[in-house]
A and B are shown apart, each in its own frame.
Chain A
């Protein structure tokens, strides 16, 4: 829709209508509604949003709300588009969340590279203040809420919520030990809600239309809709909103137009680079949290990366390992060293200097990285490695065929 990013058009479309409705209710009722809607965090972990809100330490104030707009999971570009085209929906969602959680100060943590978006958001915030949707005594409700933007400076790890909080406090963006979770000790050691852009954007719908209506969409356990960023070897890459439970085949072949250049589907990564890839024969899996978990992967951030049969999977795997090696903050040894070792081994394999035992070595390293670190970055690096070995071992073996005897 044209000019939806402006206050005028957004209001014409019913924008900010939910605030009056919300202020007529008790904050706890909104939390209950979000719980009942079944909305789960859309950033990657899929944690139930209402439950997260209800974990806030009781009677400790002030509390903070941080919107995680550090979108940097490879393949994911939904939050950028949401904020570019519909910034007021995010602001409205954040006001509702703050009212529900009794928060008076909020920050939108934007990744530093979104400096252009910052201008748009600042303008949207200015308009919202002018209209009395932000600031003191919003719409005569007695509720105060101030919202600011905060720019990061280029660090993938700051998308992890505790690293994001450290970064927002002006420190190096290293993850914190958990527990305590941010709901108990978050920003400035106060109870803090951290939610992804897309998650917060859903809240106005739930308040306007009711939890039941939202929960009527999707599967038994995965409720509502999800934005899927489809990229890679498809004819029509783009961000598509799908009802959870849609078959992956429909997303790749109908929405995104299928595989281009007459090639065939080889593999797809269903939830951003941090989740295990699946081979083409699993294309009929349904796109929801439970079905993907049963298939051994995750819905993650909702980034569908489609890979055709012109590619040797080892090449893409090396590129992903290189990414995690670069983005590892270096705090935990397993991650800092493990990502580098994996990189060196796969690089050697690609130079035809590998041998079969290398695969065993890689699996061993992955074993020592998974679930052993402060944050899931190490696990994220393990995902493409383990799944590529599991499904595309023959791609590795291609490189062992021409190994000169002297190098082994």
Chain B
């Protein structure tokens, strides 16, 4: 299968990753993360490329990948919104805010906007309970959410 090759920069990063562990197999999650962050998904072609690096079968890569919620088989939007719905956020009214966010984006929870800008996911506790309700967009945490604040945050992202 063709269609996926690591860039020179990624190859360098991979060397750095392998150097952290006495055994190669520990690099599995870091490699999957590397691909997920670059491609916004882990494609079957990328699984093959990873399996070659890891000296294992592509099926094994897939079995590990499918266990973890942060790897996506389908491409996610430029901005992945993880909206916490666990207990502390629930007590602070996250359900209505999630509904508001979905409506504002014009999609259902779990979907991606047609322009591939936003993906909205329901998420379990993200460890910012003291600022509930909260969401995480890519690497940034946003706490103390209100409809107004969500509107401002979404509008500020290009």
Contact = CB atoms under 8 A, between A and B. Distances in A.
Contacts of B139: 115-116
Interface string B113-155: 0000000000011111111100010011100000000000000
Interface string A134-173: 0000000000000010111111100000000001111111
A231 B69 contact: no
A305 B68 contact: no
A320 B91 CA distance: 12
A76 interface: yes
Contacts of A77: 127-130
B30 interface: yes
B88 A75 contact: yes
A151 B30 contact: yes
Interface stretch (B2-10, B18-26, B103-111): B18-26
A207 interface: no
Interface stretch (A42-50, A66-74, A370-378): A66-74
B26 A79 contact: no
Contact of B127 (A76, A152, A237): A76
B92 interface: yes
A290 interface: no
A377 B90 CA distance: 21
A167 to B, nearest CB: 7
A231 B71 CA distance: 29
A325 to B, nearest CB: 11
Contact of A169 (B26, B91, B129): B26
B33 to A, nearest CB: 6
The dominant DSSP class at the A interface is mixed
The dominant DSSP class at the B interface is mixed
Contact of B27 (A112, A170, A230): A170
Interface string B27-46: 11110110000000000000
B129 A316 contact: no
A116 B124 contact: no
A326 interface: yes
Contacts, number: 137
Given A79-B127, A229-B130, A153 B91 contact: no
B85 interface: yes
Contacts of B23: 169, 188
Nearest to A78: B127
A105 B69 CA distance: 28
Given A229-B130, A237-B130, A239-B130, A155 B67 contact: yes
B132 A237 contact: yes
16 contacts: A71-B127, A76-B127, A116-B139, A150-B30, A152-B29, A152-B68, A154-B70, A155-B67, A170-B28, A231-B129, A232-B132, A237-B132, A305-B88, A316-B87, A316-B90, A319-B90
Interface of A: 62, 71-77, 79-80, 105, 111-116, 148, 150-156, 167-174, 188, 229-233, 237-239, 269, 273, 303, 305, 307, 311, 315-316, 319-320, 323, 326-327, 329
Given A155-B67, A319-B86, 5 more contacts: A151-B33, A153-B29, A154-B70, A231-B129, A323-B124
- Identify the 5 closest CB pairs spanning chains A and B, nearest first: A170-B28, A153-B68, A154-B70, A154-B69, A231-B129
